[in-house]
Structure 1
Amino acid sequence: MVGGKVAGDGRFPWAVRLSMGCGGALTAPRVVLTAGHCVGPTGPNDRITVTAGSIDLDSRTAVSVKSVEVYRSPDFITETRGDDWAVVRLERELPLPTLPLTPDDVDTGTFTVMGWGQTREASPQQERRLHYATVPTIPDAECTAAYRRAGVELVQDESICAGRRGVDTCQGDSGGPMVRRDRLGRWVQVGIVSWGLGCARDGYFGVYTQIAKFRTEIEDAVRRMS
């Protein structure tokens, strides 16, 4: 997370770290929602270790649990082609708060993003403690034009672009949640950290999988995994 702050312990209790170097969110007691490009294909998978329960990965209060199965969007090809989401079934339930999916289609405004990724693009390592930042959304037309110049076509109806000068997600933040508060003040997930060109580069913004586009599919997958 470039330009972010260290999260206070317990602020984002559903944020989790995946052992391949991605983030995720506990969307059900036994299910993590992450990015499709972070995991392998759908099927049995016991190779992922999920760390949860603390903003500090080395904390004594952090809990580690293994995966048993992965379900990745059947339409996923690469992160830039859209459909970049997956759910991971854990070997047991975690006694932690879960993060609900947004119930509506709101995809503009200012959102909060987080992760244990690099704090600068050239950094040789990711972070031990969870960082977070607030980022405003960027109009699709502006984001599309920027990435078209770089030779990448944005899948507009599946993506949220967000960022501001000096603030962006970075390598190691993929799969983590983009969230906002609902009318009752509760956190809901509106996006998944997906891709970008570098980290906090001028003129380029972070691209997030839009939860509203896939909400029904994700909910069905979570039910099967729970």
Structure 2
Amino acid sequence: MVAGRDADISDWPGMASVQTVSGGTIYHECGATMIAPEWALTAAHCVENVRIESNGRAAQYLEGDNGQMTRFGTLAVAAGLGDLTTIPKGSVYAVREVVIHPAYQAGVPEKGSDLALLRIAGRWDGPLMPLDGVTGTAGNLLQPYADILAAGYGKLGEAAQGQEGVARGGRHVRAPSLILQEGYVPAVETGVCNSQIRARINEAGLAAVYPDIAIDPDTQICAGIGGSDACQGDSGGPLVFRHAPGQPVQAGIVSWGMGCARAESPGVYMRVSAFAPWISAVTGISQSAQPVVSEDISVLPSEQADILPQEEAPEETETHTEETSLEAGEELPSELDPTSSPDETTQDTGN
């Protein structure tokens, strides 16, 4: 988050970090939210390179200059952390299933349907994030003085350097921000958002590359008027409507944008309520709430002048694993050792 503030993790139930474990280092890749004891919600572009290997474990691959895909490491979900270097017992879980929305097009999150569900190995017993249209109801994001915030461990500025710390047990942790940040991001009406994003695309000389980008108010949200904003590393994290302190409902998922915190350059989020039936069908969570219908909104920007998803673009990648929860600071079981030999399979990359 750019121009945000240190967040109190108790204000963000189910807040999670999608991480790659590679060698002795943990890399934060994207945000997520725990929405059920076994399920996390994130952006599809954060996990589109994931492969389930022959041992039933998932691994992330990176595409090299020669077009070859190389295995980077294993994936874990760390939930309930205000500080990524302070890892309580039972807060880090391997991933045993990745379900990307069937309408998502790999490599083009701006086309929409940029969401995925991660099934963890084990059960998260901490608080869960209420979802608009599924287990909660958000208010009208465009109403005056609406309390709309985003949170994540992403970059603190477009040109900001990443941070590094050491967790208990000696494992290094790298992230754009080691401390969870939150910031206010006012919603932007879709017509205004479309006009502003088109202007930013034209200014960047990308009109031929992105000739038909248009925000769909039924499935996407725009937010951010400059100042506080999401940035790379915040992808997959929540945009919430807060009814009162400590009472958020997740209305959006950080997806993509043009730059970070630039004036008249809103970011784009996936609208959670539009995908409520799919989320319920995959996870088994019953829809116990109805979304507020007819909201014209759109949300968060990314880190470069080009259109980029707001994940941290690593020199290192993401991965997933099918394993029980990992003890803080413990050595990875050999099955999760990122140096173990992977299958020589490949997958399209999203960046």
Aligned-partner Cα distance in 2 for 1:206–1:68: 31
Shift of 1:158: 1.6
Question: Which has the greater radius of gyration?
Answer: 2
TM-score, scaled to structure 2: 0.60
Shift of 1:184: 11
Larger displacement relative to structure 2 (72-81 or 183-192): 183-192
* Residues 41 and 72, structure 1, Cα contact 8 Å, conserved in 2: no
Match of 1:88 in 2: 118
Instruction: Provide, for residues 122-144 of structure 1, a one-character-per-residue CA deviation record: whole Å limited to 9, x for no partner.
Output: 11210111000111101111110
Match of 2:215 in 1: 155
Match among 31, 44, 50 for residue 39 of structure 2: 31
Match of 2:77 in 1: 50
**Structure 1, unpaired ranges of 5+:** none
Shift of 1:75: 0.4
Quick one: percent identity of the two aligned structures? 33
Size of the aligned set, in residue pairs, is: 224
Q: Secondary structure at the match of 1:138?
A: coil
* Residues 8 and 82, structure 2, Cα contact 8 Å, conserved in 1: yes
* Residues 147 and 243, structure 2, Cα contact 8 Å, conserved in 1: no
TM-score, scaled to structure 1: 0.91
Aligned-partner Cα distance in 1 for 2:246–2:84: 27
Give the letter for the 1:15 counterpart.
Answer: M
**Structure 2, unpaired ranges of 5+:** 21-28, 59-73, 163-175, 202-206, 286-351
Match of 1:168 in 2: 229
After the TM superposition, which segments of 4 or more aligned residues of structure 1 sit over 6 Å from their partners? Answer: none
Match of 1:6 in 2: 6
Structure 1 residues 166 and 183: CA distance shift in structure 2, 3 A: closer
* Structural mapping, 1:171-186, within 5 Å: 171-182=232-243, 186=247
Aligned-partner Cα distance in 2 for 1:175–1:141: 24
Larger displacement relative to structure 2 (99-108 or 211-220): 99-108
Provide the aligned C-alpha RMSD in A.
2.2
Q: Secondary structure at the match of 1:208?
A: strand
Structure 1 residues 145 and 119: CA distance shift in structure 2, 3 A: same
Query: With CA pairs under 8 Å and 6+ residues apart, which has the higher RCO, 1 or 2?
Result: 2
* Structural mapping, 1:74-113, within 5 Å: 74-77=102-105, 78-103=108-133, 104=137, 106-108=140-142, 109-113=146-150
Aligned-partner Cα distance in 2 for 1:172–1:206: 14
Shift of 1:48: 1.6
Comparing both structures, which one devotes a greater share of its residues to helix?
1
Match of 1:140 in 2: 190
Larger displacement relative to structure 2 (197-206 or 59-68): 59-68
